[in-house]
């Protein structure tokens, strides 16, 4: 497939594969057999499946879409606006239509200042059958939160090694690899492998 795609030429390419520039739900990318430079100049519009995160890469010489998964399937896809695409090949217009009518995974950071407002939104979503998580990044009075999944992400060093709960997964993994004295030029490969394992586990 890779050989045919690299040697082919058409206005539209519709396929299912990972692209090096594609972004996973975790925010990371994986080096793949195909890159956008392999497609530019050969295809004008590329419509792909594979990665669940809806996204678009728009350049002067090519427009690429990952349509994404049609619904949120787990917490790894929380808060994502899911969609499907309508492609008009006569006008060359591609329209993104939000998907509705499914159970969503919603996560909100809650503070003392916005507690009432966030709880109002959370209660409405829960009454509609959606899953809701409330995340504390500071100490908050938890009265009225018993019906929700409550996540405590208040800043604290959980390892005494500079890894804190507020760090992103990428930053935590990077710091862990540094602690393990992994050579700097190998860290990206380790991160890509870890990210692949994490995405496979939640998909």
Position 154 scores a pLDDT of 80
50 in Cβ contact with 66 (< 8 Å): yes
Position 157 scores a pLDDT of 59
pLDDT in tens, 165-187: 778 888 888 888 888 888 888 88
pLDDT in tens, 84-139: 999 999 999 999 999 999 999 999 999 999 999 999 999 999 999 999 999 998 88
Domain ranges of the chain: 2-98, 105-202
Euclidean distance between CA atoms 30 and 24, whole angstroms? 8
Neighbouring-strand partners of residue 110: 136
In the structure encoding, which two tokens stand for residue 39, read together? 């497609």
DSSP assignment, residue 170?
H
DSSP assignment, residue 89?
T
- Residue 146 binned pLDDT confidence (cut-offs 50, 70, 90): confident
Nearest to 193 by CA among 28, 38, 71, 14: 28
- Residue 26 binned pLDDT confidence (cut-offs 50, 70, 90): confident
Tell me the average pLDDT across 65-76. 95
Give the CA angle between residues 187, 192, 197 to the nearest 5°: 125
Euclidean distance between CA atoms 77 and 107, whole angstroms? 10
Position 168 scores a pLDDT of 85
């Amino acid at each position: 497939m890779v050989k045919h795609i690299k040697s082919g030429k058409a206005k539209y390419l519709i396929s299912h594969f990972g692209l090096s520039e594609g972004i996973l739900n975790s925010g990371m990318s994986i080096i793949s057999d195909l890159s956008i430079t392999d497609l530019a100049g050969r295809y004008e519009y590329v419509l792909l499946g594979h990665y669940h995160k809806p996204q678009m890469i728009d350049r002067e010489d090519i427009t690429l879409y990952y349509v994404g998964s049609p619904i949120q399937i787990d917490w790894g896809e929380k808060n994502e606006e899911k969609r499907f695409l309508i492609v008009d090949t006569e006008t060359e217009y591609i329209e993104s239509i939000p998907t509705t009518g499914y159970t969503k995974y919603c996560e909100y950071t809650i503070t003392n200042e916005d507690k009432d407002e966030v709880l109002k939104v959370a209660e409405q979503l829960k009454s509609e059958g959606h899953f809701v998580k409330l995340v504390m990044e500071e100490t908050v009075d938890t009265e009225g939160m018993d019906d929700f999944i409550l996540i405590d992400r208040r800043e604290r060093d959980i390892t005494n090694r500079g890894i804190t709960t507020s760090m992103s997964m990428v930053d935590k993994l990077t710091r862990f690899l540094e602690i393990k004295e992994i050579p700097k030029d190998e860290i990206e490969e380790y991160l890509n492998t870890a990210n692949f394992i994490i995405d496979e586990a939640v998909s």
